[in-house]
């Protein structure tokens, strides 16, 4: 699932038919527009598809193969359980598109509840969960509060005698991020986009152009940069600075028999989801900036040992055995919200998702495509809201915020 990389993708989507991923949320016409998308991860592939199916002439570049970066190493956890109204809206839109796309001939999106819990003695997170459940309900999400006894009756695989409170949300599930990305890249190709994997490029903004390593240059009406941890360096080389830092996270797969739910233990700072090998668990955030061109893709033994101990505490009957541990890169911003929008004339970006990029890819990709074709900006995510040179600390993406 996440450790393996997908094959190169060309031609129509699986099933030999171009995909139609949900109803058109906007009617802007891309006919006659030549657009480059740099970065064939989940957001880039989705954006390329949404642009191509509206008539734009799209070229999707990647320095490696499709999903060879962060999307190929993502956890595949998907949920709409956000207390913020905009995040909840984007989460709902993404879950709906995952549902519509999922199928035997495409990729499986498996729906199951999402549980987030705090242990006895963790009063701040317990109170934050109670508060967030109310806010999720106000945002129209299916979410309920449970104590340990009620949680244990609903999910008998979970140890709940030390649980102070839990939130249980619907509109959640999990999938294979690499397979989703490959599927959307194939759909983009089927809709007329040109795929250019294994093609490192640089960008310029005057004129708006893409230059390949052999020196050849092509001008475009617009450029969209969705290159994950490499986004900052690509833009900086073109004279555009953004407030973003790549950082390393770690995950593992283990053999066990585990069906549901997706669970986040906020007190012990780890998540678990079902996986074809048994289960996938992770977090392992490193709070230092990483070099996207020089970083360790493995995970230390002590990480796996510690995490499996925590998993065994929460799931005493599983007896998980390590299969593989690895690292991936996420991207942070000063306020924890992503940078999505225009950073220079006809140059657009999507980055800084704090580990939540894949689960929001369907909606962000479509909204970004709409923005490129002249639609409204996502105001709260406008890159210009933060100074590029601001100093900030990296924070974990999956966490329970205890502040008001």
pLDDT digits (tens, 9 = 90+) for 290-338: 999 999 999 999 999 999 999 999 999 999 999 999 999 999 999 999 9
What domains appear along the chain, each with residue ranges and CATH number? 34-73+177-244+334-385 (3.50.50.60), 110-173+245-331 (3.30.9.10)
Residue given tokens 């109310």 in the structure block: 134
pTM: 0.92
CA distance 361 to 380: 17
What are the distances in angstroms from CA 271 to CA 188, 265, 280?
32, 6, 8
Residue 402's pLDDT is what? 67
Q: How many Cα atoms within 13 Å fall on the side-chain side of residue 215?
A: 0
Q: List the beta bridge partners of residue 173.
A: 78, 111
Query: Is a pLDDT exceeding 60 seen at residue 26?
Result: no
Q: Which bin fits 336, alpha (ψ -120 to 50), beta or left (φ > 0)?
A: left
Answer with the residue of higher pLDDT: 397 or 320: 320
pLDDT at 11: 35
CA 12 from chain center: how many Å? 24
Pairwise CA distance, residues 221 & 348, whole Å? 11
pLDDT for the residue 3:
37
Tell me how many degrees the CA angle 228-298-263 measures, rounded to the nearest 5. Answer: 75
Task: With a cut of 90, say whether residue 180 has pLDDT above it.
Answer: yes
Using the predicted structure, report yes or no on whether residue 23 has a pLDDT greater than 80.
no
- Per-residue pLDDT at 172 exceeds 60: yes
Region 42-60: mean pLDDT is 97
270: which 2 tokens? 């780890």
Residues 6+ apart with CB under 8 A from 154: 146, 168
> Span 155-169, mean pLDDT?
96
Average pLDDT, the chain: 91
Count CA atoms within 13 Å of residue 381 on its CB side. Answer: 23
User: Residue 228's Cα: distance from chain center in Å?
Assistant: 10
pLDDT digits (tens, 9 = 90+) for 187-246: 999 999 999 999 999 999 999 999 999 999 999 999 999 999 999 999 999 999 999 999
- Contact 264/250 with Cβ under 8 angstroms? no
């Amino acid at each position: 699932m996440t450790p393996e990389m997908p094959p190169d993708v060309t031609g129509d989507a699986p099933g030999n038919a171009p995909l139609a991923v949900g109803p058109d949320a906007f009617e802007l016409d891309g006919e006659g527009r030549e657009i480059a998308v740099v970065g064939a991860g989940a957001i880039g592939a989705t954006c390329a598809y949404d642009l191509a199916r509206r008539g734009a002439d799209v070229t999707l570049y990647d320095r490696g193969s499709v999903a060879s970066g962060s999307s190929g190493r993502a956890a595949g956890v998907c949920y709409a359980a956000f207390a913020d109204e905009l995040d909840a809206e984007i989460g709902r839109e993404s879950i709906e598109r995952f549902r519509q796309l999922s199928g035997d001939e495409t990729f499986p999106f498996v729906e199951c509840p999402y549980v987030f819990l705090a242990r006895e003695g963790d009063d701040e997170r317990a109170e934050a969960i109670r508060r967030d459940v109310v806010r999720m309900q106000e945002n129209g999400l299916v979410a309920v509060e449970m104590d340990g006894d009620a949680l244990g009756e609903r999910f008998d695989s979970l140890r709940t005698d030390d649980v102070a409170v839990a939130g249980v949300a619907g509109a959640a599930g999990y999938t294979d991020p690499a397979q989703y990305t490959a599927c959307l890249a194939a759909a983009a190709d089927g809709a007329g986009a040109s795929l250019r994997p294994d093609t490192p490029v640089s960008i310029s903004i005057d004129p708006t152009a893409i230059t390949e390593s052999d020196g050849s240059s092509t001008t475009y009406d617009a450029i969209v940069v969705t290159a994950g941890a490499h986004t900052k360096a690509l833009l900086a080389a073109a004279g555009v600075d953004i407030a973003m830092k790549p950082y390393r996270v770690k995950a593992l797969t283990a053999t066990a028999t585990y069906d549901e739910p997706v669970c986040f233990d906020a007190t012990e700072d780890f998540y678990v989801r079902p996986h074809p090998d048994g289960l996938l668990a992770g977090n392992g955030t490193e709070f230092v900036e990483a070099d996207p061109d020089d970083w360790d893709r493995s995970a230390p033994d002590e990480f796996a040992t510690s995490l499996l101990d925590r998993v065994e505490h929460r799931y005493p009957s599983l007896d998980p055995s390590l299969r593989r541990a690895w690292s991936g890169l996420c991207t942070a911003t000063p306020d924890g919200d992503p940078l999505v929008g225009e950073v220079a004339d006809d140059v657009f970006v999507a980055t800084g998702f704090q580990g939540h990029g894949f689960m929001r890819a369907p909606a962000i990709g479509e909204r970004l495509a709409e923005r490129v074709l002249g639609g409204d900006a996502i105001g709260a995510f406008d890159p210009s809201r933060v100074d590029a040179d601001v100093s900030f600390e990296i924070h974990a993406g999956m966490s329970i915020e205890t502040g008001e």
